[in-house]
A = this chain, B = another copy of it.
Amino acid sequence: MSGRLAYLLKHATMRLHALTDAALAPLGLDGREMGVLLVLANGEPTSQQEAAQRLGIDRTTMVALLDALAHKGFISRRPSPEDRRRNVVALTEEGHTAVARAVKAADEAEHEFLGNLPPDAAHHLRAALRTVVLREP
């Protein structure tokens, strides 16, 4: 069983997840929260729903995630002037600082995760995953 691709992928995901969460813990973040911050850093979404879609999660899941990030002072929510049903979500100053630190910590976790691989093999791994996940030719 331990040779099957599904097994290898699942356990690789679990191991990197554990390493990343450990690296992010001192910042008061976990991997899911860093994902939200990264989405916000790469262009302010016009609604919580749009942010959720970019992450592939449900809008009801996004609510609790943003609640936690707002409580930590990393994001702000304000009704959109154009459509007051929507919330414009933005990083605060602390949020920008946190995401920069988080990326650095997560990069170190990746490095540890890839430790046994030669650099070009690590590069190929990333490229192959991009191909199968993003369906690139």
Contact = CB atoms under 8 A, between A and B. Distances in A.
B54 A5 contact: no
A101 interface: no
Interface of A: 1-13, 15-17, 20, 31, 35, 38-39, 42, 54-56, 106, 110, 113-114, 116-117, 121-122, 124-137
Nearest to A5: B110
B116 A132 contact: yes
User: Does more than half of chain A's interface fall in helix, strand or loop, or is it mixed?
Assistant: helix
15 contacts: A1-B35, A1-B42, A2-B134, A6-B17, A7-B35, A8-B130, A8-B133, A9-B12, A10-B13, A11-B56, A13-B13, A15-B132, A121-B127, A124-B125, A128-B128
